[in-house]
């Protein structure tokens, strides 16, 4: 599947945007360039090797402080670029009405 086969519209970045990926447990980080993004995912180029990293689930850090981030999963690999899908946060449990 090509990177252009997205279900939602995307925004392309001509020069890329500096971002990072980080393991869910925080034990590893890699610098990346984000080349496009949509509501459902993004296309990244990872600096250095990503062999041996657990990319089943990880964070895409959009700010240098880590305050803007998305939880992701690996969707595809094409050379030095990867496609990631954004994971939805679990829906909060509804509180049942308490009758008094």
Report the C-alpha gap between 93 and 28 in whole angstroms: 31
| Per-residue pLDDT at 1 | 41
| Per-residue pLDDT at 73 | 96
Residue 22 in domain: yes
Q: By residue range, what is the domain housing residue 17?
A: 10-86
Nearest to 86 by CA among 53, 57, 46: 57
**Segment 82-90 mean pLDDT:** 87
Q: How many residues would you count in the chain? A: 100
Residue 100 in domain: no
| Per-residue pLDDT at 99 | 59
Number of folded domains that form the chain: 1
CATH number at residue 61: 2.40.10.220
Residue 49 in domain: yes
| Per-residue pLDDT at 4 | 54
Confidence of residue 95 (pLDDT cuts 50, 70, 90): low
| Per-residue pLDDT at 10 | 85
Q: What is the mean pLDDT of the chain?
A: 85
Phi-psi bin for 80: left (phi > 0), alpha (psi -120 to 50), beta? Answer: alpha
Where is pLDDT greater, at 70 or 94? 70
């Amino acid at each position: 599947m090509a990177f252009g086969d997205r279900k939602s519209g995307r925004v392309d970045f001509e020069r890329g945007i500096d971002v990072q990926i980080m393991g869910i447990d925080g034990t590893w980080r890699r610098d990346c360039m984000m080349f496009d993004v949509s509501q459902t995912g993004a296309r990244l180029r990872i600096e250095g090797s990503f062999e041996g990293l657990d990319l089943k689930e990880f964070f895409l850090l959009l700010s240098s402080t880590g305050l803007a981030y998305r939880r992701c999963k690996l969707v595809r690999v094409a050379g030095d670029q990867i496609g990631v899908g954004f994971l939805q946060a679990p829906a909060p449990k509804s509180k049942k009405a308490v009758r008094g």
